[in-house]
Chains A and B, each alone.
Chain A
Amino acid sequence: IVMTQTPLSLSVTPGQSASMSCKSSQSLLHSDGRTYLYWYLQKPGQSPQLLIYEASNRFSGVPARFSGSGSGTDFTLKISRVEAEDIGIYYCMQSIQLSVTFGQGTKVEIK
């Protein structure tokens, strides 16, 4: 499954919202009713960290300003009020297939 993220980079003013897209080449809806799409943030020099699991569920400790939406093959990550600590590269990932694949990432910078 090919994961395509847009845009590749985003420059955001603190306090403004930001939105990014992830499209999969096949549906990520499993027969068990769950959608296996995940969002990660990799801050500079750090390991990736899970933000959103199964398309729209915020992981433990993730601020409420992060939200995920979408279904099937089209997904969106939104940051409602960007803070300076949100800089880094955002990756989507699918795990519905045996072979996991990542999107190429969206780099978020602060203006």
Chain B
Amino acid sequence: QVQLVQSGAEVKKPGASVKISCKTSGYSFTSYYIHWVRQAPGQGLEWMAKFKPGGDTPTYAQKFQGRVTVTKDTTTTTAYIELSSLKSEDTAIYYCAKTLDYFDVSGIAFWGQGTLVIVSS
């Protein structure tokens, strides 16, 4: 079965960077898109980025351009997101998610358990 298991909670100081991992299994890692979505405390879902580990150019939300990078390790079928220049407003749960189908307009079907990132001095 499809599984996305994320790394543990992080506490970072303003200005630092954070890198979150998303270990996948149960499907062909390079064939489906991975999305990253975050949720600030008590708020809704905010989309950040998507990419296809098989080689597509990542697409980033304009809000995070220049501050976010998604990468992957195909040997371990793990996706990563790194967010730099952290601010208190980046405090949120970060989710990785896999698409339902393999084409770029396919929506999200499976979600990781989420990673809490707290940004505080």
Complex interface: chain B residues within 8 A of A93 (CB): 45, 107-108
Q: Which of B44, B100, B113 is the one whose CB lies under 8 Å from A47?
A: B113
Do B105 and A30 touch across chains, with their CB atoms under 8 A apart? yes
- Given A99-B61, A99-B62, A100-B50, CB of A53 within 8 Å of CB of B45: no
Q: How far is the CA of A105 from the CA of B110 in the complex (A)?
A: 19
- Given A99-B59, A99-B61, CB of A105 within 8 Å of CB of B44: yes
Q: Which of A42, A47, A102 is the one whose CB lies under 8 Å from B46?
A: A102
Mostly, the A contact residues are loop
Q: Mark A28-43, 1 if CB is under 8 A from B, else 0.
A: 0010001010101010
Do A100 and B35 touch across chains, with their CB atoms under 8 A apart? yes
Interface size bracket, A side = 20 to 34
B-side residues, CB < 8 A to A, are 35, 37, 44-47, 50, 59, 61-62, 95, 100, 104-114
A-side residues, CB < 8 A to B, are 30, 34, 36, 38, 40, 42, 47-50, 53-54, 59, 89, 91, 93, 95-96, 98-105
